[in-house]
Amino acid sequence: MSEIYPLQGPIPHVPDDLTLPQFILDTRHPQRPLNTFLNPWFIEEATGRQIGFEEVRARTFGLANELKARWNIGENDIVCIFSPNHVDYPIATWAIHRLGAIVTTANPAYTSEELTHQINLVKTKHIITHSTSLAVVEASAKETGIPLSNIIVIDLDYKGNAYSTVDSLIKAGLSKEPTFVERRLNPGEAKTKLAFLICSSGTTGKPKAVAIPHIAPIANVIQMAFYARVTEDYTSYEDRRYRVGDVTYAVLPFYHIYGLVVNLHFYLFCGHTLVISSKFNFTGMLKSIERYHINHMLLVPPMIVLLCKNPEVKNYNLKSLRFIMCGAAPLSAELTNQAVKILPDVGISQGYGMTETSTTVTFPRIDQKIGTPGSAGELLPGCIARVVKEDGSLAKFGEQGELWVKTPSSALRYLNNDEATKETFVDGWVRTGDEVIMNERREVFVVDRMKEILKVKGFQVAPAELEGHLLEHPEVSDTCVVGIPDEYSGEVPLAFVVPSQNALERIKRDPSESEKVKASIMKHVSDHKVHYKRLAGGVVFLDVIPKNPSGKLLRRVLREKAKQLKAVPPKAKL
């Protein structure tokens, strides 16, 4: 069978001479619905503060103007945003882009060790952060040689004088004449001009920086808008999925590709108001649905679990809610059915994508209220797919194989990592590493991940990164990390460990030492890694880690062993 093409025709024109803020803030595309409702672009969840289009543009200019005046940030400089969601997060992003610079987003839950890795990887010299993260940033700045004067605080809660704030910079920038001239890209330049360096865990080692050009998120927004028919009166206004003036909950982190491209840029393009939540709190989310009359939510499976099982749901008026899109990890048919029982009037479907495809490859069908059980959505216009079987031949509809995609939203490469780039980006194709089945309707069903990456609460966790860290523990002589199913998190890391000789001798003398050693190993991870990388699945001792003759870990063998465990091993307190 040859390549698989989407059922819809080719996508409309994708401009290749615009930066992302020029596309979102300055120009009009035929696929963008006309917004005559003049609804606010952003609402700050905690305060109710509203920010409209003109204020967004003005704040973006003001920040860009002062970043140029004070630090001379310009062409191809790299600025790190290390913050939870904030109403000024997109403004900071677009201001950096206005100057021709590049944004690298970082998980605000990172430890200083993890942030230091990203800083060294992308070579940033400026950090925009939240006041609650200053201790981590200061430690990383000291480690990497970033001057403290290059740290900017994004929120208004910061009361000190040591650092500039985004708000004060905006006010200063708006008070002076322009200090920069924003340039229009040359024809075709958006295909190579970098907009983002976003970290993604590959199959091995620590996170790698995915190099994403401006055209990638622009193309993906147009793909989604065209597929979802956002400018068409294809049904009654009441039944249209994407309507100008609708309100969407923005709790997905903007540092993550799903939140950045879909939740932020696509929904703004559709004319929605975004209620921006700085941190997920389930009861807080229910209150916001009621308070702000939220119509759309983009969630990950653990959030769906809470909607299905938390008794608080019945205490709130959720009648405004019309549609939930789930992504970042597979949503089971069983969980979908549970959600439908709890929210019978709400449409629920899945999409699928990855950082390397920036972002969606499949999207929820608009002809369905409830997505096909187990389906990750339909192949987007503009995407070409291959389903490659183990023998290298192309699978037929209904046959299983690895999904390869070619899309105008594809990233370019991994930054300064030719080996990983060659493995994933092959002659214009992106190898997803996911085992899928595709039907004739071009719906994709994710069966398994060929690559070793774990998905914990929708976040990527590379087993090799944890294994390397575990081997630094004096009581660990060998280890292998696998994922085990978890109802809330999707899966969680479990470490199979061969204890050191010293630990084995102590355990032999006193069996209670076993739990102490396991607790010490788990603490070693929790002290140095972000919360979702912790060994929530526990630690299991083995005599030997199975390997093939060349020394490669037989991870599949231990995955099966993990499945056979009748119960998760007792967990030490972290």
Fold of domain 209-449: Rossmann fold (3.40.50)
Cite the residue boundaries of each domain of the chain with CATH code 3.40.50.12780: 209-449
Amino acid at 69: A
Closest CA to 249 of 286, 284, 271, 276: 276
Question: For residue 198, is pLDDT > 70?
Answer: yes
* Over residues 94-119, mean pLDDT: 96
* Over residues 170-186, mean pLDDT: 97
Q: Is the dihedral of CA 545, 550, 553, 557 positive or negative?
A: negative
Question: For residue 287, is pLDDT > 90?
Answer: yes
- Residue 548 pLDDT grade (very low, low, confident, very high; cuts 50, 70, 90): low
b/e 314-347 (16+ beta carbons within 10 angstroms → b): eeeebeebbbbbbbbbbbeeebbebbbeebeebb
Amino acid at 374: G
Please write the tens of the pLDDT for every residue from 479-524.
889 999 888 888 899 999 999 999 999 999 999 999 999 999 999 9
* Over residues 164-189, mean pLDDT: 97
Q: Cis omega before residue 407 (within 30°)?
A: no
- Residue 179 pLDDT grade (very low, low, confident, very high; cuts 50, 70, 90): very high
Please state the length of the chain: 574
Question: d(Cα 21, Cα 460) in Å, to the nearest integer?
Answer: 28
| pLDDT score of 452 | 72
Closest CA to 301 of 325, 331, 281: 331
Question: d(Cα 377, Cα 345) in Å, to the nearest integer?
Answer: 20
476's tokens: 């660990």
Query: CA dihedral in degrees (362, 367, 372, 377; nearest 10)?
Result: 0
132's tokens: 């609650």
- Residue 1 pLDDT grade (very low, low, confident, very high; cuts 50, 70, 90): low
| pLDDT score of 114 | 93
**Yes or no: domain 52-183 corresponds to CATH 3.55.50.30:** no
For residues 568 and 101, the model is more confident at: 101
- Residue 335 pLDDT grade (very low, low, confident, very high; cuts 50, 70, 90): confident
- Number of separate helices (H) and strands (E) present in the chain: 17, 28
- Residue 550 pLDDT grade (very low, low, confident, very high; cuts 50, 70, 90): very low
Closest CA to 39 of 331, 393, 213, 275: 275
The alpha carbon of residue 254 and the mean position of all alpha carbons in its chain are separated, in whole angstroms, by 7
| pLDDT score of 201 | 67
The alpha carbon of residue 45 and the mean position of all alpha carbons in its chain are separated, in whole angstroms, by 21
Residue 100: count of CB within 10 angstroms of its CB: 19
Cite the residue boundaries of each domain of the chain with CATH code 3.40.50.980: 52-183
Please write the tens of the pLDDT for every residue from 113-167.
999 999 999 999 999 999 999 999 999 999 999 999 999 999 988 888 899 999 9
Question: d(Cα 67, Cα 254) in Å, to the nearest integer?
Answer: 21
| pLDDT score of 542 | 93
**Residues forming beta bridges with residue 104, ordered by sequence position:** 80
- Record the pTM: 0.85
- Residue 288 pLDDT grade (very low, low, confident, very high; cuts 50, 70, 90): very high
565's tokens: 């465990």
Closest CA to 460 of 485, 493, 437: 493
Please write the tens of the pLDDT for every residue from 367-380.
999 999 889 999 99
| pLDDT score of 192 | 98
Question: For residue 551, is pLDDT > 60?
Answer: no
* Over residues 27-44, mean pLDDT: 94
**Second CATH level (architecture) for the domain 454-564:** 2-Layer Sandwich (3.30)
Cite the residue boundaries of each domain of the chain with CATH code 3.30.300.30: 454-564
- Residue 570 pLDDT grade (very low, low, confident, very high; cuts 50, 70, 90): very low
* Over residues 78-96, mean pLDDT: 98
Question: d(Cα 284, Cα 514) in Å, to the nearest integer?
Answer: 41
- Residue 527 pLDDT grade (very low, low, confident, very high; cuts 50, 70, 90): very high
Closest CA to 419 of 226, 230, 202, 106: 202
| pLDDT score of 205 | 59
